[in-house]
Amino acid sequence: DKSEDVDTNTKDSEPATETLKKEEVIVIKFSHVVAEDTPKGQAANMFKELAEKYTDGRVEVEVFPNSQLYNDDDVLAAVQQNNVQLAAPSTSKVSKLFPQWTIFDFPFAFEDVASVQAAMESEEIGGKLFKMLTDQDLLGLAMWDNGFKQMTLDDHPLYMPEDFEGQQFRVMSSKVLEAQFESVDAVPTPMPFSEVYSALEQGVINGQENTLSNIYSKKFHEVQRYMTISNHGYLGYAVITNDKFWNGLPDNIREQLQKALNETTQWVRENGERLNQENLDKIIADDMLEEIHYLTNEQKQAWIDVMNVVYEEYEDEVGADLINAVKELRD
Ligand code: LMR
């Protein structure tokens, strides 16, 4: 008889419901803006897999890529309000709340990704930057690399500083990035990542700077004609949670999540550069650009000579101590 069956089922399921309550699943929403086939996109997915495995399913990570959930400008507020529990905005975007974080935006500040990693690991730079996040209920858990940015433009190739004159470039929301373009008489336009493709397509802007993985995965090379491999600036991410959420987790869960995060960070460190290189190969294979130019040493020096003014302009805002600590790493 049907009704008996239902009764039996209900009884059977009661203890199961009880257990489920005690062991309630903790949901972590992780919002980001890039495609999945990028260093950050892959890292977010890897973190999800490891976090769920190490916590035996007690934690469920929901990853929202491609600005599906939040845009660049809203995500930190969403973390503060616990609407999402993890985000990995670029350090440039963190500078909207914490101006010192713009230190990674200075032109030609870092020779390679290893120097950025050394900066993040130093007490004077990384230690200081991570500490200040707690002033606004945030907590920095890790730093993930993407890599170095390249320049693209529709109108003509970019060789010398003069070639930037009057051209409109999209920038992330960072004063130092605006200043970088102003130093070469270009017009910077801050804009969320999700709007860049259509702004380029419609000619609202003529150019942009980004890593090869972001350029390829968002098809910027299809709506631009020239790219200069300049490696002029670094792009990386602060993996950020909210202080209260993270410290309110059961200790064993937090430890397992940290372990998942550490392994993911190690993976990004070892693979970010490779992914960007593969994306350059794909851009070349696509053959949509008229020219890919590799900045010569003389041209690079000419860019440095002009862009250097940014360091003086932002010394007060970022702090001479931070700037000097970065310069010392380079010298
Ligand atoms: C951008 O806005 O260009 C980047 O921050 C996107 C990203 O997160 O890599």
Query: Residues 6 or more apart from 51 whose CB is under 8 A from it?
Result: 28, 59, 61, 256, 257, 260, 261
The two tokens of residue 90 are: 């670029």
What is the total residue count of the chain? 331
Mean pLDDT score, 88-115: 96
Reported as a pLDDT band with limits 50, 70 and 90, residue 54 is very high
C-alpha span between 187 and 91 (Å, rounded): 22
**Ligand 1 contact, 231 CB (< 6 A):** no
Q: Is the Cβ–Cβ distance between 90 and 210 less than 8 Å?
A: no
Q: Are strands 226-229 and 291-294 parallel, antiparallel or unpaired?
A: parallel
Average pLDDT over residues 284-297: 98
Residue 128's pLDDT is 96
Report the amino acid identity of residue 238: A
Nearest-CA residue for atom 1 of ligand 1: 193
Phi, psi of 84 (to 5 degrees): -130, 155
Distance 230 CA to ligand 1 centre (A): 17
172 lines ligand 1 (CB under 6 A): yes
Atom number, ligand 1, closest to the C-alpha of residue 93? 5
- What integer is the mean pLDDT of 271-282? 97
Q: Which of 178, 196, 191, 113 is nearest to 148 (CA)?
A: 113
What is the distance in A from the centroid of ligand 1 to the CA of 235? 8
DSSP 8-state secondary structure symbol assigned to residue 25: P
Query: By C-alpha distance, which of 212, 138, 131, 198 is closest to 170?
Result: 198
- Res 5: pLDDT: 43
Q: Is 217 in the pocket of ligand 1 (CB under 6 A)?
A: no
Q: Beta-carbon neighbour count of residue 17 at 10 Å?
A: 9
Cα of 205 from ligand 1 centre, angstroms: 17
Residues 210-266 pLDDT 10s: 999 999 999 999 999 999 999 999 999 999 999 999 999 999 999 999 999 999 999
Residue 212 tokens, joined: 């090869």
Rounded to an integer, what distance in angstroms lies between the CA atom of residue 213 and that of residue 270? 15
For residue 146, report the distance from its CA to the centre of ligand 1, in Å.
9
174 pLDDT exceeds 60?
yes
pLDDT given at position 22: 57
Question: Does residue 20 carry a pLDDT above 80?
Answer: no
Q: Is 90 in the pocket of ligand 1 (CB under 6 A)?
A: yes
- Give the pLDDT score at 163: 98
